[in-house]
Amino acid sequence: MTATSPPVNRRRLGSLAWPLGFTLAVILIFIFYRYWLPDSVDQVQKFVADWFPPAVINQCVIWVIMAIGLNVVVGYAGLLDLGYVAFWAIGTYVGAWLMSGWFFQVHWHIGGPPTLNKAPGIHISFWLVVIFAGAFCALWGVLIGAPTLRLRSDYLAIVTLGFGEIIPQVFANGDSEHLGFALTNGQQSIVPIDGIGTGVFSQLKGVNPQLGVFDLPYRFLVFCLVAAFCVFVSLRLRRGRLGRAWLAIREDELAASMMGVSLVRAKLSSYAVGAFFGGMGGVCYAVAVGGASPNFSFNNSITILMMVVLGGMGNVWGVIIGALIVSWVNLAGLSQFGDWYNNQFNTNIDFPSYNFLIFGIILVLMMLFRREGLLPESRTRLIMREPARTELETLGADIEAAEEEDEVILEEETEDELVGTETTGRSDGGNA
Amino acid sequence: MTATETEPEVPAPTPTGNDALRADDIVIAFGGLIAVNGVTFNVPEGGIVSLIGPNGAGKTTFFNVLTGLYRPTSGNVYLGGREVTGKAPHRIAKMGLARTFQNIRLFNLMTAEENVMVAMHSHLRSGIASTVFSMPWQRREEHRAHDASRDLLEFVGIGKVRNEYARNLSYGDQRRLEVARALALQPKVLLLDEPTAGMNPQESAQFVDFVHRVRDEKQVSVLLIEHDMSVVMRVSERITVLDRGERIAEGGPDDIRANERVVEAYLGKTGTREGRRDK
């Protein structure tokens, strides 16, 4: 026990760096927007309002939640899901149904805003709705997954793509004209959505009992809390029995099943966990934009997938960074850069309309030069950078003998060895 | 060589109560091609049995029926007295049938220890909630699993590399890791599919002792598919020979060595049969 303690402690410390950094960044951003920005000079205010508006920052956090959710499915279990937007849509509409006056026929109030005590509709506290929507989406994940997850890679991708198309369509056509009763508002939005109750925190100075449309920095904190929950759950699951099974499935499905892993159950649970996060993110989205409209499309699924791939599949922190970059570029960065460029060079190019072109180019460049993503799992980096040892040995090179010699000569300079293997890999690739 | 010719010569093994693994009259047909034709076969508890035969004899197909990858066209498989025919592979694995693969199939990007722990999956209980909340009993279970996997890796002799990724292990160590991973299932029967492929004679010789040690210390029955005759003859208590989907002989190493049909069908591959064809 004592012999194994030190490395464990070191690992604990190392693994705390990212969570602490995440928390610190959230607090700093909050302080910046809440306390510092309102008192700062006009130029700063203008710059921030142009490039980093608080509403955009909040939406970026929601994209982060989505990306973390998809990472469980794509990054951990290696299942290609092209219809993740389905869970986003379900979550958003669950949020809208349970936190608005949409179902005016009933008066259900559970911890909703006290000001709406007499109002018709279902008004349930945001905190309950977030959990409920997650569970509801997880249930749908299981329902959708049960028949489809028996399929393998490409077929699975196609079927998920189908569900990703169907579900937003259901919401788009869920009005009284098509359904006979108004499940949704058709192409229009369900508005308005209740604020976020702050409970005991409303005692603090400056905190409203209900976080409304203008309490953006506080909402930012709430969304970050949801994101943190998703990160926490991801990391915990990843290290446990289920996480190992997911990884094993990603590595070798057949071998995993021969080792007693029930493929369907393991895949379903990854799908359900991913859907849970998607549902939570969906509710946050409904609150953030203040309504639920059926403008979900395949593009959203692809964008989330891109965040995961760009950030580094399987590594939560990488995925967060990927999501922040992509969503910021999408929501603010590109249009601001376009304005700046057009002003500077007196042109009239509509930059935001080229976003997928730009992301396409970035993806191609990534695949050429950094296939493993910006911040990959250490294990993924391995496979992308070095050929496997047995693979090299079958080439006829007597690596083992060479390594032993190297060890004698270089002793601790393992780095050199690494470079050596890498070049071998490259030349191999060149020959092939 | 038809079935009628075979049967009087090789009587079906008498069913005993303590067969660890038993296959009754297995037939596997792929369309019109009969890969395995009415093979009856058993592995006695605590025994080391080899399945040999020339290439294309149906050994691996037969193996795949035992592990649940194929459903036999007819016939039944019993594991420790319980029928497992047509059950899903992960269920059969959980019931006590573990295997290694002819061409190593480790989880390459997982450490040696993680590889072993994956195989403990079906014996661990913790679900999503207990893992997320890190319940005390979940932590204890994880701890036990860690210790058990460490012990298994020590047992197969690769304790030092437990935190290495499987893909970085040497070929021999990967073979050992496969055995450790299979043992983590706490199997009744261990199926080894050409375990000495790619080993040098010295390693193969060590392997014979290793199989005996596994059998004795882990109380498993062992079924081998093997091409290396020196290994087969030294390790096996009983040998079953398949040729073109049929069981042509069964017996101890000496019987098999002396069996004319085996020599003809199998060892004759390099001599007798080729010679006859030339005539």
Please state the domain extents for chain A.
Answer: 19-297, 386-432
With CB atoms and an 8 Å threshold, state whether B170 touches A380.
no
User: In angstroms, rounded to a whole number, what is the distance separating the alpha carbons of residues B221 and A39?
Assistant: 78
Band of pLDDT at residue A431, cut at 50, 70 and 90: very low
Reply yes or no on whether the pLDDT at A428 is more than 70. no
The answer, yes or no, to whether the previous bond of A120 is cis (omega within 30 of 0) is no
A 400-419 → B contacts, CB under 8 A = 400
Nearest CA in chain B to A381: B109
Q: What share of chain B is helix, strand, coil (3-state, %, to 5)?
A: 45, 25, 30
Angstrom CA distances, B137 to A243, A342, B124, B141, B149, stand at 18, 62, 11, 6, 18
Angstrom CA distances, B250 to A30, A307, A395, B171, stand at 77, 60, 39, 32
Residue B235: its pLDDT value, please?
92
Enclosing H/E stretch for B173:
helix B171-183
User: In angstroms, rounded to a whole number, what is the distance separating the alpha carbons of residues A6 and A12?
Assistant: 10
B 141-170 → A contacts, CB under 8 A = 141-142, 145, 165, 167-170
Q: Residue A67 half-sphere exposure, CB side, CA atoms within 13 Å?
A: 32
Reply yes or no on whether the pLDDT at B11 is more than 60. no
With CB atoms and an 8 Å threshold, state whether B110 touches A263.
no
pLDDT tens for residues B217-247?
Answer: 999 999 999 888 889 999 999 999 998 888 9
pLDDT cut 70: percent of chain A above it: 85
> Which pTM was predicted?
0.86
With CB atoms and an 8 Å threshold, state whether A255 touches B105.
yes
B228 DSSP assignment: -
- Closest-CA distance, A379 to chain B, in angstroms, reads 6
Residue B86: its pLDDT value, please?
86
- Record the tokens describing residue A401, joined without a space: 């003998």
- Closest-CA distance, B67 to chain A, in angstroms, reads 8
SS3 category, A318: helix
Region A393-421: mean pLDDT is 48
User: In angstroms, rounded to a whole number, what is the distance separating the alpha carbons of residues B44 and B42?
Assistant: 6
Rg (CA), chain B: 20
Picking from B108, B127, B185, the nearest residue to A259 by CB comes out as B185
Residue A391: its pLDDT value, please?
67
Reply yes or no on whether the pLDDT at B43 is more than 90. yes
Please report, to the nearest 10 degrees, the dihedral formed by the alpha carbons of residues A379, A381, A383, A387 taken in order: -120
Residue A408: its pLDDT value, please?
47
Region A325-338: mean pLDDT is 93
Q: Residue A192 half-sphere exposure, CB side, CA atoms within 13 Å?
A: 8
Is B99 within 8 Å of B154 (Cβ atoms)? no
pLDDT tens for residues A220-265?
Answer: 999 999 999 999 999 999 999 999 999 999 999 999 999 999 999 9
Count interface pairs A-B at CB distance under 8 A: 120
pLDDT cut 70: percent of chain B above it: 89
Band of pLDDT at residue A14, cut at 50, 70 and 90: low
A421 touches chain B (CB under 8 A): no
Angstrom CA distances, A44 to A26, A60, A214, A361, B222, stand at 20, 21, 20, 32, 75
User: Residue B213: which of B154, B276, B140, B126 has the closest Cα?
Assistant: B154
Residues of chain B in contact with residue A251, where contact means CB-CB under 8 angstroms, are: 107-110
User: In angstroms, rounded to a whole number, what is the distance separating the alpha carbons of residues B254 and B238?
Assistant: 10
Residue A151: its pLDDT value, please?
80
Is B229 within 8 Å of B42 (Cβ atoms)? no
- Closest-CA distance, A422 to chain B, in angstroms, reads 14
- Record the tokens describing residue A47, joined without a space: 């710059």
User: In angstroms, rounded to a whole number, what is the distance separating the alpha carbons of residues B178 and B270?
Assistant: 32
With CB atoms and an 8 Å threshold, state whether B185 touches A263.
no
Is A312 within 8 Å of A76 (Cβ atoms)? no
**Three-state helix/strand/coil letters over A191-256:** CCCCCEECHHHHHCCCCCCEECCCCHHHHHHHHHHHHHHHHHHHHHHHHCHHHHHHHHHHHCHHHH
With CB atoms and an 8 Å threshold, state whether B106 touches A255.
yes
User: Residue A423: which of A392, A394, A378, A400 has the closest Cα?
Assistant: A392
Angstrom CA distances, A30 to A57, A222, A326, B93, B238, stand at 11, 11, 21, 52, 74
A260 touches chain B (CB under 8 A): yes
Residues of chain A in contact with residue B145, where contact means CB-CB under 8 angstroms, are: 241
Reply yes or no on whether the pLDDT at A201 is more than 80. yes
Picking from A237, A240, A255, the nearest residue to B107 by CB comes out as A255
Residue A179: its pLDDT value, please?
80
User: In angstroms, rounded to a whole number, what is the distance separating the alpha carbons of residues B121 and B138?
Assistant: 13
User: Residue B195: which of B228, B243, B238, B153 has the closest Cα?
Assistant: B228
Instruction: Mutate one of A241, A257, A315 to test the B interface: name it (highest B CB count within 10 A).
Output: A241
Residues of chain B in contact with residue A260, where contact means CB-CB under 8 angstroms, are: 90, 93-94, 119, 121-123, 185
Reply yes or no on whether the pLDDT at A322 is more than 90. yes
- Closest-CA distance, B96 to chain A, in angstroms, reads 9
The CA angle B150-B152-B154, to the nearest 5 degrees, is 70
With CB atoms and an 8 Å threshold, state whether B132 touches A269.
no
Band of pLDDT at residue A12, cut at 50, 70 and 90: low
Is B200 within 8 Å of B167 (Cβ atoms)? no
- Record the tokens describing residue B214, joined without a space: 């596994």
Structural domains in chain B plus CATH codes:
3-96+187-278 (3.40.50.300), 106-185 (no CATH)
pLDDT tens for residues B176-226?
Answer: 999 999 999 999 999 999 998 888 888 888 889 999 999 999 999 999 998
User: In angstroms, rounded to a whole number, what is the distance separating the alpha carbons of residues A239 and A19?
Assistant: 16
* Residue type (1 letter), B233: M
Write down the residue that tokens 């290396």 correspond to: B228
User: In angstroms, rounded to a whole number, what is the distance separating the alpha carbons of residues A343 and A362?
Assistant: 25
Reply yes or no on whether the pLDDT at A385 is more than 90. no
User: Under 8 Å CB-to-CB from A385, ≥6 apart: which residues?
Assistant: A372, A422, A425
Parallel/antiparallel/unpaired status of strands B97-99 and B189-193: parallel
